[in-house]
Structure 1
Amino acid sequence: MGIDLPVIWFVIIVFGLMMYVIMDGFDLGIGILFPFVRNRESRDVMVNTVAPVWDGNETWLVLGGASLMAAFPLAYAVVLSALYLPLLLMLLGLIWRGVAFEFRFKADESHRHFWDVAFTAGSYMATFFQGVALGAFLNGFEVHNGNYIGGAFDWLSPFSLFAGLGLVVAYALLGATWLIIKTEGSLHDRMVSLARPVTLALLVAIGIVSLWTPLTHPGIAQRWFDWPNIALFAPVPVLVLLTGYGLLRSLRGGDPSVTPFMLTLCLLFLGYTGLGISVWPHIIPPDITIHEAAAPPQSMGFALVGALLIIPVILTYTAWSYYVFRGKVRQGEGYH
């Protein structure tokens, strides 16, 4: 039995995107939470919690995009053609946010507010259009003879817009629980108080998406409720409710540890699992599978060697950077 290269590459891409959601999600969440924290010193502390690592977090987005191009060029061409506008707006948001991140520390007081607003706007823009792209991906694409034949605005739908809002809520919760770990005093207490309603909002959003998806996508409904997928999927809603309850309970006690953050990651992982079950084995919904979109085996094998070399390096320097900059961040400490 030979090695199934398309499946291996699919796992690599899924892993890379999940790492991006985790790593860049909480620092985008910090920008999303900026409007709820008015104190300048508190905002500085919030940014300083991710200052040493934020640009490295986006390595995973680059890895996911490069892997898709190398292993599934057909999917890369279709996805970029269909989602050109939301992905472009997402990248513009990331760029604008990155510029604001650096400039807000260097600007004088008269311009500080402008860069704070820019940092917030870039964070919302990047997150929202990531979610829009995800919702449009679930809706599927019109493809004929390997070419995208849909319109430039087919990605724009009520479902994709709601997915964008849902991802904003998810990243806000990631940011709040990250700051619970990294801060103390009044800022820590503020994040605990914010995390409670955001958790409830995220659970509601997950519930709406879980109902909306099978009702409007018959193919996904069939995959959810056919055997053996239903056996794999049935525990997911129960685990979401249990995780949400545990998260609310830990926040009610003002838990200063990593527990709320880890439970938030569990919620996102469960949502990611549901997404995987919804689209598998298609990489271009609703019809094109990973094997149909795969590059030649020689190309996939050659690229796999590089991926297996570089991924451990990325994991190592990421883990080392978080280890070096562990602990609480206090006012007056950090990035300048």
Structure 2
Amino acid sequence: MSALSLMCILIAIFAIAMYILLDGFDLGVGILLLTTPREPERNEMVESIAPIWDGNETWLILAAIVLFGAFPLAYSILAPAFYLPFMLMLVSLGFRGVGMEFRVHTPFPRFWDGAFCAGSTVAAFCQGLVGGALLSGTVTVSQGQFAGHTLDVFTPFNCLTGLTAVAAYATLGAGWTHWKTGKRLQRRHRPMLRAVMFIFLLLAVLVCALASTTQAVATMWRTHPASMVLAGLVAAALWATAFLSVRTGPDGRPLLFSLAMIAVLLLGFVFIVWPYVVPFSVSIDTASAAHGSQLIVAVGALVLLPVVLGYNAFAWWVFRGKVDAAGRR
């Protein structure tokens, strides 16, 4: 593997990880939005993510650009394989944007809150669906082309990972609400935070148990058992710390440890599928574009990364602090 290919794939992995970690909690807020019956409290939840939610999606665009420019073969395989989940996700993200804007300009805010909630849930499910397909090696490749069916992605295991992604994002969203909203809403959402964390734990354990029966994960258990056990123990410890910190410690601790737990799980996912960019058919070397194309992508991404990071940091700094019951900072 060339150094340029390694740099490009690491940039893509970093962008995807940043999207999951940063956009995950605002998707989670949307998933949980209708669990709060009072409109002022829903306003408080939405206002907590309003200044940053659209900037978080920049990471998804960056990952797609790097994949298209640096690994065109992988892009040409994954796009038709995941056509339906990708289209559903994009439409759902559009629903989120429309719901965010229309809820404050129409006499029917609950309808648009429902659109925001539905868009967030479907987008999270589609992302988990794609992750499950990559983990299980569902994508069928023949002679460098996608040789399967568009509906192949909708297997029971992949749908289970979709539900797990919804629960994971809901956990991050509940942790975000616990950190950024006032004491009244925080107290009301503590049982919700513990409930979604417990649901996520059950689904994640079930996914891990079923994944261990696949050839790739079983091989990883045979060749690197210590690493797999260590990753599981660290993730479990972080989950327990986040769960126990709901009632004690700083308000942001459940979110912090939940983010760390998701990061460890993402590292485990990358460890399992490495060095494939289309698991388990097309390697990074095979999918790599010409040197010049990868150089352009790498230079462009390295220029954009500080800009995107700076924008995110600036937005977080300007809109730091809690949101009050009226949705004001």
Matches within 5 A, 1:29-48: 29-48=28-47
Shift of 1:186: 1.8
Query: Match of 1:105, SS?
Result: coil
Q: Does structure 1 conserve the Cα–Cα contact (< 8 Å) formed by 2:242 and 2:254? A: yes
Task: Give the structure 1 partner of residue 291 of structure 2.
Answer: 297
- Name the CA distance, whole Å, in 1 between partners of 2:301 and 2:91: 27
Distance 1:163 1:129 in 2: 9
Question: In 1, distance between residues paired with 2:306 and 2:238?
Answer: 30
**Residue of structure 1 equivalent to 2:95:** 96
SS in 2 for 1:31: helix
Contact 1:177 1:191 in 2 (8 A): no
Amino acid at match of 2:226: A
Which residue does the alignment assign to 1:282? 276
| 1:210 positional shift | 1.2
**Deviation string for 1:40-81 (max 9, x for gaps)?**
000000000011111111000000111100111111111111
The one of 107, 130, 155 aligned to 2:153: 155
SS in 2 for 1:239: helix
**Residues 1:273 and 2:267 are matched in the alignment:** yes
Counterpart of 2:52? 53
Q: C-alpha displacement at 1:9, in angstroms? A: 1.1
Distance (Å, rounded) in 1 between the aligned partners of 2:266 and 2:206: 15
- Taking structure 1 as the reference length, the TM-score comes to 0.94
Partner SS for 1:234: helix
Shift of 1:204: 1.5
Within 2, Cα distance between the matches of 1:80 and 1:62? 14
Counterpart of 2:176 (choices 175, 178, 185) is 178
Q: Is the Cα contact below 8 Å between 1:93 and 1:121 reproduced in 2? A: yes
Contact 2:40-2:327 within 8 A present in 1 as well: no
- Computed over aligned residues only, the root mean square deviation of the Cα atoms, in angstroms, reads 1.4
In structure 2, stretches of 5+ residues that fail to align are: none
SS of equivalent to 2:49: coil
- Residues 233 and 277 in structure 1, CA contact (< 8 A), matched pair in contact too: no
Equivalent residue number for residue 163 of structure 2? 165
Q: Match of 1:106, as an amino acid?
A: H
Change (3 A) 1:224 1:289: farther
Q: Report the secondary structure of 2:237's partner residue.
A: helix
- 1:130 alignment partner in structure 2: 127
Aligned to 1:247: 242
Percent of paired sites with the same residue: 37
Secondary structure (helix, strand or coil) at the match of 2:104 reads: helix
**Does the 8 Å contact 2:126/2:162 carry over to 1?**
yes
3-state SS of 1:329 partner:
coil
The equivalent residue for 2:190 is: 192
Q: Is the 8 A contact 2:179 2:252 kept in 1?
A: yes
What is the rounded CA distance, in whole Å, between the counterparts of 1:223 and 1:14 in structure 2? Answer: 20
Aligned to 1:28: 27
- Count of matched residue pairs: 328
Are the equivalent residues in 2 in contact too, given 1:224–1:278 (CA < 8 A)? no
Measured in 1, the distance between the counterparts of 2:72 and 2:188 equals: 46
Give the letter for the 1:124 counterpart. Answer: T
C-alpha contact 1:180 1:256 (8 A) present in aligned 2: no
**Match of residue 238 from structure 1:** 233
Equivalent residue for 2:252? 258
TM-score between both structures, scaled by the size of structure 2 = 0.96
Give the ranges of 4+ consecutive aligned residues of structure 1 lying more than 6 Å apart after TM superposition: none
Question: Do 2:21 and 2:263's aligned partners in 1 also have CA atoms closer than 8 Å?
Answer: no
Deviations 1:115-136 (A, max 9, x none): 1111111111111111111112
Alignment of 1:303-322 (within 5 A): 303-322=297-316
Match of 1:74 in 2: 73
CA deviations 1:97-144 (Å, max 9, x no partner) are 110110001112xx2221111111111111111111111222221111
Counterpart residue identity of residue 269, structure 2: L
